[in-house]
Structure 1
Amino acid sequence: MTSEIIEGRDWYEKLEGVLDKEILFLKNVNDEYLWDILNKQSLNYIYKNCLNRPWLNQFSLAVLCATDRNLSPASINNMLSTLNARFQDIFISLELNQIEDLNYTHIHLYISGEICKHHSDRQRQMFISYYKSFLFNVSKWVKNRIDLEQQEYFTSFLLPEFPFDNRDYKSRGLAVTSAQKKRKDESSAVAPLLPSIRAECHLRWNQVKRLREITNEVIKKVQNENLPLPFSFNYEESEHLNERLYFTLNKNLDNEFYIEFIESKNLLDGSQGDGLWFFEILKNRLLGAWSNLASNKRKTEGISFLEKWGHDTEENIHPFQSRNPGVLTQGFILTRSQQYNGSRLFINVEPLYIACMFAIFAMDIQSYSGARINEILQVSYDPDCCFITDDGKNTTTKRNYIFKLIPKGRETEENYYMPESVFKSLLMIVKELKNHYNSDTLPQVNYSISSRKHLISNERKFVFQYNNQHVNQFTLNSIIRFLTHGLIIQSVEGKQVILTTHLLRHAFATHAAQTEKLPIDIVRQLLHQKDESVTGYYAAPTHVQISGTIDSLHDNWMTYIDIQQEILRSPKELKEIYEEYKEKVGTMSKVVGGICTIDSVCPTKMACMGCAAKVPQPEFRHEIEQYYAWAQESEKRFKELGLELEAKKMKLAMRRTKLELREIDGIEMYIKDESYEPNIQFQKEN
């Protein structure tokens, strides 16, 4: 195809005369221009950040090769933005001008920390990882896709190789150790707060549901009564927020409804309220790839806000970016209107509602199972995924609610047991999706995680889908960050913790192993973990837990005959423990204060109070309170008898009972909030 035929293409207009012509006209095996299929975000990044850089040809070739090799857009974007930022630092520090000036000694100076001393070990480790990925992808692509006579030409655009392994640098070891410590500290902060985090997220979900219901009610009223726009309305939020929120309804240039937040008033004293938790995200215009079109001033302000809330903007400057249209995204016209009206707050409610719907469902699944993100995204509305069975071992029939999912490292499905509430949420989402598609069924879509596609090759009715596209893992983490924004979760060092699906899994494992004292081999079963050594890392005690238990260890030191025997279990002992625990509690069976969700051996020998496998139920609160009263009385009696160890056991039982009562308090709070009916007031604009 000649240049005259492609002159209308945007990439040709911007890159012609700037980029090497051979790279400009690269095609894939289907005779498609690679620039046509490069993801838009990478393309825009090159336009904005690379056109005048000495490494434009090298980076352009790299992203085209990665695209042709089907690397995910997220991987390509991360590689591109990280390498571009570090190359700028290296070139400035060493006063390099041309790409030909760069050699492996310059790379060595950066990785070893001799230049850019303010950079973290993690930044250096990320750079070397992406640099080696760059070299690998381009060299492999050139050898496999380019004719022999042209290979020498394209090889000239390879970055210089360096004769070192990244393991040769202390920055790698320090980065890995630092990352592990950070995860343990964050897990330690999150684990004790899991019940309150779940309760708060459900309250927020209720708030978004109410906002959507009221907005739709106002839209219907305006349409039915042919009322002029803008149209004002307000309503009282529940006692959890205790504010009256004021809005106006309007339409954008595409004739689509949106609302504008006007103000919020405290119902107690009439003072200015804070509004809903996500208002400050929208006010700061931080949804999507916000920095790409931001002025330097606004970019500085945005980074400052994000870092205040614990976001690592070097690693991810767009924490609330969705890769799924219609999920969290506000739309081009409304986003542009917000840019030109910075002091006003425009809201497209539906994408926020959809985002929170998926986020709360994912968090519930993870709270009850510790499932990985790729397992959560496998949930589909298909008969071979969702099961409801009856447990015949009880006099009163109990139902088992099961997802069949393929764990990491396996090739066949395993059972993930859920409480009934999770299945009710699933049916709610299915209903919403059917309404969205205006159909009595869900469409079948492709699974989005490429590393598991060989196991899930067929299209399915995935529950995590929207606009005929499977929700990907990048989007899921973004909407969880959105739903949990502003929750005060701090490490022992006072640093704000950002929730992700991986961190929630760590917290689940930490809670099960360190708080509930479940044996590692049992925790491995709960987590569907293949390698027990990995489970051991997940569940390793944190500094906070060690310091919190050292006094008790000293108190009880003399009660142990052989400490080493308690710590190090032999295969024979493990077999004995397994046999001891072999007595099962029926799946979803009624236990004290709730229901049991484990389908394997009972991890606590039926000491159900505080067990991670139990789901407390508000209707059984009285049982837990009775148990607490019994433990309290028993503690007093054991102390009087001088049985200190038995008294400590009762004290531990009381503490676990209090935790369950706190969890039930949270459940009751968001159930009450869910049924709240706000008082809506309408007022037409003059």
Structure 2
Amino acid sequence: MTAANIAPNSPFYSQLVGKVEDNILHLQDKRNVFLLDKLDARNIKSFINNSLQQPWNNHILLIMFICGDKQLDTITIKNQILAINVRLKNIFNAFHLKDMDEFRVEIHLYQYLRGIIFPEHSPNTRRELLKTYKSMAYTTKKWISSRLPIEQQAYFERFLLDLPSFNSRDFSFSKLALDARHNTRKSETDAIVDSLSHIRAEGHFRWNQLQRLRTAFLKACEEIQKAKAKLPLEFSYDEPESVGERFYFRLWDKPSFVLHHQDQFPASSLKAVQRCSGDYSPEKNHYFVEFIKAERVKDEGDIEGLWFMELFVEGVISQWYKNETEKETKRKREWLLSWGYGGENLAGNPEPFYSKHKGILTPNKFISRYQDKADGVLFDIEPLYAATTFGLLSLDIFTTTGARLNELLQLSNTKECLKWVKVDNKEHFSFYVAPKGRHQVEPFYISEQTTKLISRVMKMLLEHYKSDKIPKVEYRDDRKHLFKELKPYFFQYHNKAFQKNTIYACLRFLLHGLRMETQEGKPVTIKPHLLRHAFATEAVQRRDMSIDIVAKILHHRNLTTTAYYSEPTPSIIGEKVDELHDIISDYIDIDEAVLRNPKELESALEEYKDKVGVFNNVIGGTCVTDRVCPIKMACLGCQAKIPQPEKKYELYEVIELSNDLEKRYKSLGLQVEVKKARMMRKQAKNELKEIELIEAYRKEQNYEPQIHFEK
């Protein structure tokens, strides 16, 4: 068998030829397109960095080519290959294997899965390996047998992973892994499900704070340019009365910082500053700030300062572990793990604040390099402002629609994505994206608040690009092969669309310091999918929305999935037991409750098919579902409603009405109706609390700090 005469066009071909099996490298699809040319560059780079020098390099390359030919997601291929690569390293090292001819699935892989070697690895790690290994082995074997002539199949079979005779049912880790993952998810959901409105409000408060800082920073820059003052320029401003603190800063640029600390810089840097050359040329110069201190204005209370300051003090932004001593790396790693940053990767160094995107969160290299030379804390404003602005829009969409992260990243400034209707002189908005597992777009209904946040991101991007429109960019995350058209995506910066890691970093930065723990005391970090679980649990367990309605909101095809997402948490079970004890003396028709079947429930639901939908106002807010009313028109406390401060007077009327109803029902001896009246009052008060938070951060948005410059 000889290789094809024509070589692939891939720029990576020269790095692979002679180092992997020639006939694998020159495999083609049915249209005679080289499989190497069809593979995403990210996967080839990953292969070169992690697998090329390994004994299984040909096996892995063949798997990657076949997965690429089947158009699997780039990230899926990368993650699965990395998982197999890491575990094969573990197994080969443990058994001192040198090449794939020595590897025996029934011996070596089986002993790993039984926990005989690496017993410290979690059940989920073993479960995922077996699942991935079997899937890859089966996929490649099927492709070889169906695509290649019989005379070629025998040649390529020696580069196939051997299929094991065992499956997950032969090991205890499968059930252990599923149970552990399920319990972890519910305990984490339990920690945040009561705090969704508080989390959302805190996000707004923090954006307001950074916006005030950015405003002060820009005015300080104007002051320097207008007055031709000498740097550093010291300035301060007072936070709103609710914060009660005064912040002090210095404004620097790179040359002024070097000259002010010239005894700490080499002569070469001083010469470059004087000549305005190299890193100190005008085109490479920029302004940044040094946070000096915070102090109380009117009392002696505790000083909080900027919420993110400890991240810079601890030095954990971006890839913090580079160039650190072993002792300092250990200290910072333990600090991050104490906050819950790290997930299952307890052996590595967590990177919770590494956005992997230019201009988002990560400071300029100059600041990172010379942070220790400053008296205070140095940071750039724009990367933090961008991270906070994107983080707040993400948080709002996750907590008000239950959307997935991949759905969020599809949001674009196009008429096909953003749509609105006008009813009774009021605009109602939705966005259309393709949910997981589907190619066609479906609607996600959003509130007026969300549209304002989208507009805020739009304004920031137009300023960033110094343009009157957002540029069209390539979609870069999962399912990339479905979204080939360039679009003006909202989640982009520096002419590149975001990937998942960037959203994670923005959310963590925005919400850092909100300490939430499971009942066992384990810290919980807020993640997009966890917010989705919390949204579903809140809707079903606390708002009594029908599971099939929540499934429509979450764009689930399978009600079993929705049932899993919305299972009651330990705290909710405790509450329900208390409620049961409270009403145990009331009459309940047990036979009717037990005997009702899904058909009867469906028939009962038909009685309440009056639409609420995105076209109607409801008590205390606006409804954002176009489905059958989930709670029989009882709009108080409904998850499908966004409370509006402008309508809080309606809630006060509900409270007054509930008081009157309670008195009347008491006089008639109708105890169940008395409890309903009390619940009505409780739900109205809860919504008023959320409205108070909304009013508070809206008020702060209009606060203009008086900035004082030290001459």
- Of the candidates 188, 191, 205, which is equivalent to residue 190 of structure 2? 188
- Of the candidates 392, 404, 411, which is equivalent to residue 360 of structure 1? 392
Q: How does 1:156-555 map to 2 (within 5 A)?
A: 162-252=164-254, 253=279, 254-268=284-298, 273-291=303-321, 294-315=324-345, 317-338=350-371, 345-392=377-424, 397-451=425-479, 453-454=481-482, 456-555=483-582
Q: Deviations over 1:67-126 (max 9, x none)?
A: 97787775576557656665666566x463745665432332222223333332223334
Deviation at 1:568, TM superposition (A): 6.6
Deviation at 1:530, TM superposition (A): 2.1
Which residue number in structure 2 is paired with residue 666 of structure 1? 693
Query: 2 CA distance for matches of 1:67 and 1:683?
Result: 63
- Secondary structure of the residue aligned to 2:479 is helix
Query: Does the Cα contact within 8 Å between 1:263 and 1:272 map onto a contact in 2?
Result: no
Range with greater deviation from structure 2 (73-82 or 495-504): 73-82
- Of the candidates 89, 92, 112, which is equivalent to residue 110 of structure 1? 112
Range with greater deviation from structure 2 (345-354 or 328-337): 328-337
Query: 2 CA distance for matches of 1:143 and 1:346?
Result: 61
Query: Does the Cα contact within 8 Å between 1:26 and 1:33 map onto a contact in 2?
Result: no
AA of the residue aligned to 1:548: E
Query: Does the Cα contact within 8 Å between 2:661 and 2:674 map onto a contact in 1?
Result: yes
Query: Does the Cα contact within 8 Å between 2:59 and 2:160 map onto a contact in 1?
Result: no
- Secondary structure of the residue aligned to 1:403 is strand
- Note closer, same or farther for the CA distance 1:418–1:138 as it changes in structure 2 (3 Å cut): same
Query: 2 CA distance for matches of 1:288 and 1:624?
Result: 46
Which residue number in structure 2 is paired with residue 3 of structure 1? none
AA of the residue aligned to 1:183: R
AA of the residue aligned to 2:497: H
Query: Does the Cα contact within 8 Å between 2:406 and 2:478 map onto a contact in 1?
Result: no
Query: 2 CA distance for matches of 1:10 and 1:450?
Result: 23
Query: 1 CA distance for matches of 2:136 and 2:696?
Result: 51
Range with greater deviation from structure 2 (421-430 or 503-512): 421-430
Q: CA RMSD in A?
A: 4.0
- Secondary structure of the residue aligned to 2:526 is coil
Query: 2 CA distance for matches of 1:154 and 1:240?
Result: 70
Deviation at 1:376, TM superposition (A): 1.9
- Note closer, same or farther for the CA distance 1:299–1:139 as it changes in structure 2 (3 Å cut): farther
Q: TM-score scaled to structure 2, two decimals?
A: 0.81
Give yes or no for the alignment of 1:590 onto 2:617.
yes
AA of the residue aligned to 2:235: F
AA of the residue aligned to 1:297: K
Which residue number in structure 2 is paired with residue 647 of structure 1? 674
% same residue: 36
Query: Does the Cα contact within 8 Å between 2:73 and 2:481 map onto a contact in 1?
Result: no
Query: 2 CA distance for matches of 1:147 and 1:297?
Result: 59
Query: Does the Cα contact within 8 Å between 1:446 and 1:457 map onto a contact in 2?
Result: yes
Give yes or no for the alignment of 1:124 onto 2:126.
yes
Query: Does the Cα contact within 8 Å between 1:283 and 1:344 map onto a contact in 2?
Result: no
Q: Deviations over 1:469-507 (max 9, x none)?
A: 222223212211221111122222222221122111111
Deviation at 1:639, TM superposition (A): 3.9
- Note closer, same or farther for the CA distance 1:208–1:138 as it changes in structure 2 (3 Å cut): farther
Query: Does the Cα contact within 8 Å between 2:12 and 2:44 map onto a contact in 1?
Result: no
Query: Does the Cα contact within 8 Å between 1:365 and 1:422 map onto a contact in 2?
Result: yes
Query: 2 CA distance for matches of 1:129 and 1:165?
Result: 9
- Note closer, same or farther for the CA distance 1:164–1:242 as it changes in structure 2 (3 Å cut): farther
Query: 2 CA distance for matches of 1:439 and 1:333?
Result: 28
AA of the residue aligned to 2:564: Y
- Secondary structure of the residue aligned to 1:290 is coil
Query: 2 CA distance for matches of 1:96 and 1:143?
Result: 32
Query: Does the Cα contact within 8 Å between 2:233 and 2:250 map onto a contact in 1?
Result: yes
Q: TM-score scaled to structure 1, two decimals?
A: 0.84
AA of the residue aligned to 2:396: D
Gaps of 5+ in 2: 1-10, 28-32, 255-278
Q: Give aligned pairs, total.
A: 662
Query: 2 CA distance for matches of 1:45 and 1:636?
Result: 74
Query: 1 CA distance for matches of 2:340 and 2:597?
Result: 43
Which residue number in structure 2 is paired with residue 678 of structure 1? 705
Q: How does 1:38-49 map to 2 (within 5 A)?
A: 38=42, 42=46
AA of the residue aligned to 2:285: N
Query: 2 CA distance for matches of 1:335 and 1:90?
Result: 39
Query: 1 CA distance for matches of 2:197 and 2:49?
Result: 41
Deviation at 1:275, TM superposition (A): 2.5
Q: Deviations over 1:445-464 (max 9, x none)?
A: 2333342642x442222222
- Secondary structure of the residue aligned to 2:458 is helix
Query: Does the Cα contact within 8 Å between 2:207 and 2:388 map onto a contact in 1?
Result: yes
Query: Does the Cα contact within 8 Å between 2:236 and 2:247 map onto a contact in 1?
Result: yes
Q: How does 1:563-574 map to 2 (within 5 A)?
A: 563=590, 565-566=592-593, 569-574=596-601
- Note closer, same or farther for the CA distance 1:452–1:640 as it changes in structure 2 (3 Å cut): farther
Q: Deviations over 1:41-87 (max 9, x none)?
A: 958975xxx99x97695798589869977877755765576566656
Q: Deviations over 1:192-226 (max 9, x none)?
A: 11111100010011112122222122122222333
Query: 1 CA distance for matches of 2:73 and 2:158?
Result: 26
- Note closer, same or farther for the CA distance 1:31–1:172 as it changes in structure 2 (3 Å cut): closer
Query: Does the Cα contact within 8 Å between 2:473 and 2:488 map onto a contact in 1?
Result: yes
- Note closer, same or farther for the CA distance 1:659–1:567 as it changes in structure 2 (3 Å cut): farther
Query: 1 CA distance for matches of 2:97 and 2:235?
Result: 60
Query: 2 CA distance for matches of 1:342 and 1:107?
Result: 54
- Note closer, same or farther for the CA distance 1:578–1:113 as it changes in structure 2 (3 Å cut): same
- Note closer, same or farther for the CA distance 1:321–1:645 as it changes in structure 2 (3 Å cut): same
- Note closer, same or farther for the CA distance 1:27–1:552 as it changes in structure 2 (3 Å cut): same
AA of the residue aligned to 2:330: T
- Note closer, same or farther for the CA distance 1:566–1:484 as it changes in structure 2 (3 Å cut): farther
- Note closer, same or farther for the CA distance 1:66–1:675 as it changes in structure 2 (3 Å cut): farther
AA of the residue aligned to 2:188: E
Query: Does the Cα contact within 8 Å between 2:20 and 2:57 map onto a contact in 1?
Result: no
- Note closer, same or farther for the CA distance 1:500–1:665 as it changes in structure 2 (3 Å cut): same
- Note closer, same or farther for the CA distance 1:671–1:79 as it changes in structure 2 (3 Å cut): same
Query: Does the Cα contact within 8 Å between 1:516 and 1:610 map onto a contact in 2?
Result: yes
Query: 2 CA distance for matches of 1:153 and 1:265?
Result: 75
Query: 1 CA distance for matches of 2:135 and 2:319?
Result: 24
Query: Does the Cα contact within 8 Å between 1:65 and 1:141 map onto a contact in 2?
Result: no
Query: Does the Cα contact within 8 Å between 1:249 and 1:257 map onto a contact in 2?
Result: yes
AA of the residue aligned to 1:364: D
- Note closer, same or farther for the CA distance 1:554–1:569 as it changes in structure 2 (3 Å cut): same
- Note closer, same or farther for the CA distance 1:677–1:61 as it changes in structure 2 (3 Å cut): same
Range with greater deviation from structure 2 (97-106 or 246-255): 97-106
Range with greater deviation from structure 2 (410-419 or 369-378): 410-419
